Structure 1
Amino acid sequence: MRPAHAALLVAAMAATPAMAAPVAPPGALSCGGCHAPAPEGAIPSLAGRNAGEIVADMQAFRSGARPATVMDRIAKGFSDEETRAIADWLVTTGAGEPAKP
């Protein structure tokens, strides 16, 4: 590669903004406190779940259709739009995925 071409490539790369990770919607970061990638006990991981499943579960907790000890109270704190934003963020960022070795 010619020095002029290399300089242009470096300049173009420097001028291109890096892709920023999506900002977590309010409440999303707290999910991992209980729903760890490798859960212990009765609390399931969110790894491998799709956004629709997460939203449906949150709606079931909110309505009382799915019994819970804590999630029913947590789910009532979020609107449908907030729940969808959290679910989409969890799936998009891989926040519910197991850690890579």
Structure 2
Amino acid sequence: MRTPLPGLALLAALTTGAGGAEMRPPPGASSCTGCHAEGSAMGVLAGRPEAEIVGALDAFRGGTRPATIMNRIAKGFDAQESQAIAAWFAAQAPR
């Protein structure tokens, strides 16, 4: 079982500027919001557990979770990018 700490540390490293400036989404996260925004049929990612998001991306990338589009999208992210994206969404408050 993965702990959320490595993803949060990676997220902090990728999304904070000098002096701990305000966090911004890691590269790739903006591609998720089109289908996973508030009120969308695909469900909101904000506030979901980091391990759940990482697991889903891994399963899509590996072809063990059926999909029409997510399997292709997930293949565009390596494990480190997936972890940063998952940590970002897990840290966001659902609206």
TM-score (norm 1): 0.68
Q: Distance in 2 between matches of 1:75 and 1:50?
A: 18
Q: Distance in 2 between matches of 1:23 and 1:49?
A: 18
Instruction: Please state how far the C-alpha of 1:37 moved relative to its aligned partner.
Output: 1.7
Match of 1:84 in 2: 83
Instruction: Please state how far the C-alpha of 1:66 moved relative to its aligned partner.
Output: 0.4
Match of 1:27 in 2: 28
1:97 aligns with 2:83: no
Give 5+ residue unaligned stretches, structure 2.
Answer: 1-18
Alignment of 1:50-65 (within 5 A): 50-65=49-64
Identity, % of aligned positions: 49
Q: Distance in 2 between matches of 1:64 and 1:30?
A: 20
SS in 2 for 1:20: coil
Larger radius of gyration: 1
Summarize deviations over 1:34-70 as a string: whole Å, max 9, x none: 101222x3x1221431110000000000011001010
For this pair of structures, how many residues does the alignment match? 78
Asked if structure 2 preserves the Cα contact closer than 8 Å seen for 1:22 and 1:89, the reply is: no
Give 5+ residue unaligned stretches, structure 1.
Answer: 1-17
How much is the aligned-residue C-alpha RMSD, in angstroms? 2.0
1:36 aligns with 2:33: no
- Runs of 4+ displaced beyond 3 Å: none
